[in-house]
A and B are shown apart, each in its own frame.
Chain A
Amino acid sequence: MFNSTQVMETIDMVEKEHLDIRTITMGISLLPCMSGSAEATAQKVYDTVCSKAENIVQVAKDLSAEYGIPIVNKRVSVTPAAIICAPFPEKSARIGKALDNAAKTLGIDFLGGYSALVQKGMADYERTFIRTIPEVLASTERLCSSVNVGSSKTGINMDAVALMGDIVKETATLTADRDGLGCAKLVVFCNAVEDNPFMAGAFHGVGESGTVINVGVSGPGVVQHALEAIPGANLSEAAETIKRTAFKITRAGQLIAREAAKRLQAEFGIVDLSLAPTPVRGDSVAHILEALGLETVGTHGTTAALAMLNDAVKKGGVMASSKVGGLSGAFIPVSEDIGMIEAAQKGAINVDKLEAMTAVCSVGLDMIAIPGDTPATTIAAMIADEAAIGMINNKTTAVRVIPVPGKNEGDEVSFGGLLGRAPIMPVHGASSEAFIRRGGLIPAPIHSNKN
């Protein structure tokens, strides 16, 4: 039989604390679509995505109504397109267009996988593919792109890092009329995961099966509320509370994921329990850290609080489901989190502190607006720093920065909707160019040699 207190707790989580299923993401393998010509491949890609994900929007709507939990985004991730485009790399944009068209036909929010995995080396066809990214992001609407430039096992491909500095700059330039919005759809990874349901970094790894449902659950507001209910608790008790809350949220996600997979004739992949903020008040990761006792996120103690939060979230998630994957932790995108936006406006948080925080949470320098005249080599060096943190600590790190054309420190930029707004954050002025121009590979750390 049921317990009224628990029933009301769930309803309060949804109504007052913004509990939601952040995304249902269908991973689709495009390997069977490969053929010799770009035209034929593009047609097969479009047909495959449209038929496999045909019902995703309706199923999400039905599940949301039946279980009473909002499902915010419906998405698709596909095999890294660089592989599909290998026979005709100069025509890769055709595939990008076909994917974007499929996303529009389906009515989904985003489609991820205009991606390349070049963590150890970059073939000519991959280099050509990556060079198409700025133009493709500028001419499409819902397509997201990511490039993996390093891993704990292979080291960091510094040639790819240098190239991505240029690509980020060029993407900003080509979308200058939208304040460099293209860069919000481009992630540079180290240790990218193959089952991530969250955008902009989702792609469907080649080790995955044909069609998979991965679900991303969120709920920073639920965690914040639970912590506010125990103001005098010590940090062991706070960690325990976070863990219990994460357990409940993950269970909700797993139920939806299993049911969605069944109805969409796909395999149930993973539940990604990530505390993903939105710019709405009451849905902020920064405010969780502040609920733990910090006056403002960014002050001393922030890294420790975030480390505890991230670990407790993972532990609760793992207890709730044996299929936890993706990034599973806390996200700290600046423009998408009202607490982060306010801290940045006050000057309480800067890029250096954010970098330190990325050593202990599940992502990297995320949705940070920087001056438009930041040199490409400085952006590449920021990517290198993040990749190094990921490589050494065996974790995923990423860079999604937006060098906003024509804007400088003190200005603010607004991307609208879930992407939010951000003040332009200063970066270091001293040059990293000679370091980036060296190229080559930063070797993998000694602890990667486990065979």
Chain B
Amino acid sequence: MRAVVTVTGKDRQGIIAKVSTFLATENVNIQDISQTILGEYFAMVMLVDLSASEKSLAALAAEAENLGREIGMSIHFQNEEIFNAMHTV
């Protein structure tokens, strides 16, 4: 199963490091990354593969949200199907 991870918030050092360390610890493989800075605003979207992870998507989503709170960013972890459904005809 694949998921989309989005990380947004005020730019600071170490955001990508924290998020990718979390993903690596959970055996989540990053397949694609897109990241931009708009002014002071950091926005990153990742496509990840969960098939090697032992945890459920819901559990990972909850942990990612907690991590976001710790580092002062907003982190969403969602099944990629929702984006395919809404944005493709």
Contacts and interface: CB of A to CB of B under 8 A. Distances in A.
A2 to B, nearest CB: 6
A127 interface: no
Contacts of A255: 81-82, 85
A67 B86 contact: no
Interface in B40-66: 43, 45, 47, 56-58, 61-62
Given A69-B82, A255-B81, A62 B58 contact: yes
A67 B81 contact: yes
B79 A67 contact: yes
A157 to B, nearest CB: 42
Contacts of A6: 83, 86-87
A10 B47 contact: no
A98 B65 CA distance: 40
B26 to A, nearest CB: 15
B32 A248 contact: no
B78 interface: yes
Given A2-B83, A249-B86, 5 more contacts: A4-B43, A65-B62, A67-B81, A69-B82, A251-B85
B83 A4 contact: no
B7 to A, nearest CB: 11
A11 interface: yes
A8 B87 CA distance: 11
B9 to A, nearest CB: 12
A443 to B, nearest CB: 45
A216 B7 CA distance: 29
B12 to A, nearest CB: 19
Nearest to B35: A4
B25 interface: no
B80 interface: yes
Contact of A1 (B32, B36, B85): B32
The interface size bin for chain A is 20 to 34
Given A65-B58, A66-B78, A68-B77, A8 B83 contact: no
A255 to B, nearest CB: 4
Interface in A55-91: 62, 65-69
6 contacts: A2-B83, A6-B86, A8-B8, A10-B83, A65-B57, A66-B61
B86 A251 contact: yes
Contacts of A11: 6, 8, 76
Contact of B45 (A2, A15, A65, A249): A2
A8 B6 contact: yes
A2 B81 CA distance: 11
* Most chain B CB inside 10 Å of its own CB: which residue of A3, A65, A252, A254: A65
B6 A7 contact: yes
Interface in B2-27: 4, 6, 8
Contacts, number: 67
Interface class of chain A by DSSP:
helix
A226 B2 CA distance: 29
Q: Which of A62, A67, A248, A255 has the most CB of B within 10 A?
A: A67
Nearest to B78: A68
A4 B45 contact: yes
A70 to B, nearest CB: 12
A255 B47 CA distance: 19
A11 B43 CA distance: 12
Max chain A C-beta neighbours (<10 A), residue from B6, B36, B74: B6
Contacts of A252: 82, 85-86
B58 A66 contact: yes
B78 A67 contact: yes
A7 B4 contact: yes
A8 B61 contact: no
Contact of B47 (A1, A67, A68): A1
Contact of A4 (B34, B77, B80): B34
A240 B61 CA distance: 35
A66 B57 contact: yes
A309 B44 CA distance: 35
Nearest to A253: B85
A159 to B, nearest CB: 47
Contact of B85 (A2, A9, A254): A254
Contacts of B87: 3, 6, 9-10, 248
A354 B72 CA distance: 47
Nearest to B62: A65
Contacts of B6: 7-8, 11
- Tell which of B45, B61, B81, B86 has the most Cβ of chain A within 10 Å: B86
A69 B83 CA distance: 11
Contacts of B61: 65-66, 68
B48 to A, nearest CB: 11
Contacts of A15: 74
A62 B61 CA distance: 11
